[in-house]
Amino acid sequence: MAQNQAYDRIRANLDRVEMRILRACARAQRDRDEVTLVAVTKTRTLGEVIAAHGSSLRHFGENRVEDLEAKLPHLRQSLGQDLPLWHMIGHIQSRKAARVVAAADLIHSVDSMRLARRLDRFAQEAERVVPVLLQCNVSGEVAKYGFDAATPLAIDALEAELADLESLTHLDVRGIMTMAPIVTDPEDARPVFVRLREVRDRLRDALPFSDWQDLSMGMTDDFEVAIEEGATLVRIGRAIFGPRNE
């Protein structure tokens, strides 16, 4: 009974989220297929993840590798071969890089060249190429992780620094990600999303070893604005699952 209730609640929430995504895509004259919905499962139970999977979701995001590692064996037992793709969206401690490489399908939060080199090393040992996004701090908030991309001078330095990524052949650099400031009005986040897109466009021109296609930006409170500004991945938790299980 509880599992059925979780499914019904998540299905209803997901329908509302999908409608909001469709409307945002229409406003921006984009196809719905250009946007991947990543369901953020921080603090969510295994039952909620399975219910979300049953509601057609196939992309899930975790903030901590320990939480992902705890879920994976049970999901393999419950879902068999129909496993979702797992996105690591939280800060990664260097000492846990090998575990992230082993568990994640796509890493959003590569926030330094030091971490990139460690991930590349462990990916080589695992004989795989890991898709990654580079986390960029375009808002200038001191508390935010990420490559500094808050000023023109910082972006100049970033362009030079990231040239070394071409030598990391076990990382597939697909684009960039940011965490926007928490704001009351989603429109207040728009300048951050615009700046991230501008940084992506500059990197695409300067560093053609990648197509820099992906922009991971936008969460429950501002994902519609992010889609209007070019987001290809939106990370949504509360709007799908409800308030966090603290």
| 9-45 pLDDT per residue, tens | 999 999 999 999 999 999 999 999 999 999 999 999 9
Residue 244 within a domain = no
What per-residue confidence (pLDDT) applies to 245?
A: 65
Residue 125 within a domain = yes
Helix/strand number for the chain, H first, E second: 9, 9
User: What percent of the chain shows pLDDT beyond 70?
Assistant: 98
Handedness of CA 122, 124, 129, 133 (dihedral sign): positive
> How many CA within 13 A on the CB side of residue 33?
0
Total structural domains in the chain? 1
Unique residue bearing structure tokens 């496993």: 83
Q: Which residue has the higher pLDDT, 104 or 141?
A: 104
What per-residue confidence (pLDDT) applies to 18?
A: 97
Residue 67 within a domain = yes
Question: Per-residue pLDDT for 246 more than 60?
Answer: no
Average pLDDT over residues 53-77: 94
Question: Per-residue pLDDT for 2 more than 90?
Answer: no
Residue 245 within a domain = no
Residue 127 within a domain = yes
Q: How far apart are CA 152 and CA 172, in angstroms?
A: 26
* pTM higher than the cut 0.85: yes
Domain that holds residue 30: 2-239
pLDDT grade for 244, boundaries at 50, 70 and 90 = confident
Residue 99 within a domain = yes
Tokens of 166: 């071409």
pLDDT grade for 3, boundaries at 50, 70 and 90 = low
Q: How far apart are CA 59 and CA 38, in angstroms?
A: 5
Residue range 170-214, pLDDT digits in tens: 999 999 999 998 889 999 999 999 999 999 999 999 999 999 999
Question: Which SS3 state, helix, strand or coil, does residue 36 take?
Answer: strand
Question: Per-residue pLDDT for 57 more than 60?
Answer: yes
Unique residue bearing structure tokens 């023109």: 152
Residue 6 within a domain = yes
Residue 197 within a domain = yes
- What CATH number has the domain bearing residue 144? 3.20.20.10
pLDDT grade for 243, boundaries at 50, 70 and 90 = confident
